[in-house]
Amino acid sequence: LTQDDLKKIAAYKAVEHVKSGMVVGLGTGSTAKHAVDRISQLLSQGKLKNIVGVPTSTQTHEQAVSLGIPLSDLDSHPVVDLAIDGADEVDPALNLVKGRGGSLLREKMVESVAKKFIVIVDESKLVKHIGGSRLAMPVEVVQFCWSHSLKRLEELFAHAGCAAQLRKAADGAGGKKPYVTDNNNYIIDLYFEKEIGDLNRASDAVLRLPGIVDHGMFIGLATSVIIAGVDGVTIKTK
């Protein structure tokens, strides 16, 4: 079983919770992609009807359009029955790190108004403490004076040995340029040497900094996590 097989298994399991008539939050990333594929499969087989998808990125929007999934947005559907999305890290309390795919803002907007939010992961995403994996903790910031925001974020997390860097993307000419999100913002990735401590305190402190749009800590939003491992699939519900 490859890692992608595991992602697909978790995604298909989550889609079993999609019922006809639901407004479904469509996640972003290589795991959520399988869930979107599966929903379109069931729609075309007539096993699902009257689904409205609310995509969490232009990437997922384009995938869903190409698959013929009817789409809407939070303006028209302020409540989502079920959101399905991947994650970069999941801790035992189902807190998440998300956003390494760059879509954290729209994901958090959709997933924070979902009656149920099922996270789909392969077992490699499980961690003891989020932010401790030495992988990126993304923060979406306005472009204006991003370097100032980067410094304020490093100061804020100095106790955790934080190093921050502006996320870059290929400029198509062999060089790099700042990565720009769907919302025309930049992303600053934070790397920690030590645990960041209380997540809610960290979240509040980050969100109080002017110029910060949002961050990749999804605290208390997930209602279930479906974990696909080599020994099988398990579901943990809060």
Closer residue to ligand DER in complex, CB, 5/155:
5
Closer residue to ligand DER in complex, CB, 81/89:
89
In one letter, which amino acid is 9? I
* H/E element, 208: helix 199-208
Closer residue to ligand DER in complex, CB, 28/152:
28
Q: Which of 89, 107, 111, 140 is catalytic?
A: 107
User: What torsion, rounded to 10 degrees, do the Cα atoms 220, 164, 32, 22 define?
Assistant: 40
Q: How far is the CB of 201 from ligand DER (least distance, A)?
A: 22
Closer residue to ligand DER in complex, CB, 101/131:
101
Q: How far is the CB of 118 from ligand DER (least distance, A)?
A: 12
Q: Give the Cα separation of 56 and 194 in Å (integer).
A: 31
Q: Give the Cα separation of 175 and 186 in Å (integer).
A: 17
Where does residue 135 fall: left (phi above 0), alpha (psi -120 to 50 degrees), or beta otherwise?
A: beta
* 210 Cβ contact list (under 8 Å, min separation 6): none
* Interface residues toward ligand DER, by CB under 6 A: 27-32, 85-88, 98-101, 103-104, 107
Angle, in degrees to the nearest 10, between helices 3-15 and 30-44 = 50
The question of whether 107 is a catalytic residue gets the answer yes
List the beta strands (DSSP E) in 98-161. 114-122, 137-141
Q: How far is the CB of 76 from ligand DER (least distance, A)?
A: 23
Q: How far is the CB of 7 from ligand DER (least distance, A)?
A: 6
114-122 and 80-85 as β-strands: parallel, antiparallel, unpaired?
A: parallel
Closer residue to ligand DER in complex, CB, 25/29:
29
Q: Hey, which residues are catalytic here? A: 107
